[in-house]
Structure 1
Amino acid sequence: MELAAQTWPDLGSYFETESLALVPVGSTEQHGPHLPEGTDHIIAESLARAAATSSGFLCTPTITIGVSPHHRQFHGTMWVDAPVFRDYMESLVSNLTYHGIDRVVFVNAHGGNVAHLREVGRRLHDRGEAFAIEWMWDESIPTLVSDLFEQNGPHGGPKETAMIQHLAGDLVREDRLEEAHEGGVTFPTDDSHRNGARVFYDCIDNSPNGVFGDQTDATAEKGERLFEAAADQLRELCLWLNEQPFEDLVAKPHV
């Protein structure tokens, strides 16, 4: 069920019996010369909608701009400062709790959002207001991702390329896959860590064109397998979370 497509009486009926919502969260940032800047929010929204449709749970509108200052050197990248993002997401969940939602799954597709969404979940959990968890699609199916691609990459690589080939193939610049591979790098690079420390902050410090891995290894068929497997994982997570008594999810009292 998509919140934005419902009337308020219909939503009232949902809130009478259900207390879970999916919130898709992505970014609008560079994904190399071959993928659209909406890559992350396209993936997040598609997975959230699929899981909501199969489970019957509520899906909110998508958060399309996240924490992406590390991609700012590339044209068109948009971002919000991390404290603003955290406060916004916390306020958004509090909005949902007002209507009766007490558990939320952040359907995330951008690595830069991870730590901040987990911090939001921590704040809400400590107040006993809601149980909000961050879910990252590729982390739900690591074995399949490794099996499908010889040279994977954390950003703009074959897994994201394959997903967009499947979800929005007309947005993929297929004639630039070789360019993306040749102008990018495998990950991690030799210069990214020294003596146990991560010694870079921005993507441009690692990759001239902003991507990692072998994009030529991606296909729409592989993307379909990734999508279906991740959507199944998300659905199962929602069903599990829905079954948990709320008192088991909130912070435990002092020992």
Structure 2
Amino acid sequence: MYLPNLTWPDLREYVENGSLAVVPLGSTEQHGPHLPEGTDHLIADALARAATDRTDHICTPVIPIGVSPHHRQFHGTMWVDAPVFRDYVESLSRNLTYHGIDRIVFVNAHGGNVAHLREVGRRLRDDGTAYAVEWMWDESIPDLIEEAFETPGPHGGPKETAMIMHIAEELVRDDRLEDARDGGMTAFDPATMAVNGARVTYDSKEITENGVFGDQTDATPAVGAELFEAATDQLCALLEWLDDQPFADLLPQEHVAPRPARTGN
């Protein structure tokens, strides 16, 4: 159920029986020479729409720009500062709660958003307004991804390439797949970002010349369809689980007893 396509009486009917909303989020940033800059938000939006169509939950419009300054050296990358992003997502979420929503799933497809969405979720939960949880598609199907690709790569690799081949194949530059592989870091090694236990890199340009990781030539539309269906199944299961939980059980637990009494004026 896509919120912009509904009328307000439709939404009134929805909140009479349901209180869950899905908010897709991603980024608009470089994904190498072969993928569109909208890769992340295209994936998030497609998964959120597919899952809510199946479960009859509400899906909001996608938030297409996230926290992406680590890709800023590449043309076209857009980002907002982290505090701005957090405040925007929290404000939007509180807007939903005003209309009767008390649980939210952030369908996220950009790693740079994760920590900030978790913080927004804690703010909403701590004051008892709503329970909001962040969900990443690739983290829901890690075994399938490992089986499908020898070198999946965390950014712009074959898993994202296959997903876009399935969602919007016309946006993939097939003639650049080998260039993407050969000009990037095929086998991602986190150790390249650290010195003596300290992470010393801040931007993707410092470790990959063309901004991507993995072997993009392993991607196919068929594998993308398999990944998409498996991730959608996982998201649907999450939505149904969350919808079944008593709201009180989702709120923070009480302080352990005994709790010291406050004294003084």
CA distance in 2, matches of 1:19, 1:204: 42
Instruction: Please identify runs of 4+ aligned residues in structure 1 that moved more than 2 A.
Output: none
**SS of aligned partner of 1:221:** helix
Q: Cα deviations across residues 197-229 of structure 1 (Å, max 9, x unaligned)?
A: 211000101100000000001101000000000
RMSD value, Cα? 0.7
Aligned residues of 1:3 and 1:59 also touching (Cα < 8 A) = yes
**SS of aligned partner of 1:191:** helix
When the two structures are superposed, what TM-score results if normalisation uses the length of structure 1?
0.99
CA distance in 2, matches of 1:191, 1:43: 28
CA distance in 2, matches of 1:209, 1:248: 46
Q: Tell me, which stretches of 5 or more residues in structure 1 are unaligned?
A: none
Q: 1:4-15 residue pairs with structure 2 within 5 A?
A: 4-15=4-15
**SS of aligned partner of 2:210:** coil
Letter in 2 for 1:131: Y
Cα distance, 1:172 vs structure 2? 0.1
**SS of aligned partner of 1:23:** strand
Cα distance, 1:194 vs structure 2? 1.8
**SS of aligned partner of 1:210:** coil
Match of 2:263 in 1: none
Match of 1:54 in 2: 54
Q: 1:113-124 residue pairs with structure 2 within 5 A?
A: 113-124=113-124
Letter in 2 for 1:249: L
Q: Tell me, which stretches of 5 or more residues in structure 2 are unaligned?
A: 257-265
Letter in 1 for 2:157: G
Aligned residues of 1:50 and 1:231 also touching (Cα < 8 A) = yes
Match of 2:225 in 1: 224
Cα distance, 1:189 vs structure 2? 5.6
Match of 1:96 in 2: 96
Match of 2:203 in 1: 202
Aligned residues of 1:124 and 1:130 also touching (Cα < 8 A) = yes
Cα distance, 1:196 vs structure 2? 1.8
Letter in 1 for 2:54: S
Aligned residues of 1:189 and 1:206 also touching (Cα < 8 A) = no
CA distance in 2, matches of 1:152, 1:43: 16
Q: 1:1-255 residue pairs with structure 2 within 5 A?
A: 1-185=1-185, 186-188=187-189, 190-255=191-256
When the two structures are superposed, what TM-score results if normalisation uses the length of structure 2?
0.95
Letter in 2 for 1:245: P
Letter in 2 for 1:191: T
Percent of residue pairs identical: 69
**SS of aligned partner of 1:122:** helix
**SS of aligned partner of 1:80:** coil
Cα distance, 1:241 vs structure 2? 0.2
CA distance in 2, matches of 1:196, 1:222: 36
Letter in 1 for 2:216: Q
Which range is displaced more, 181-190 or 21-30? 181-190
CA distance in 2, matches of 1:43, 1:253: 38
Letter in 1 for 2:160: E
CA distance in 1, matches of 2:244, 2:95: 22
Aligned residues of 1:27 and 1:41 also touching (Cα < 8 A) = yes
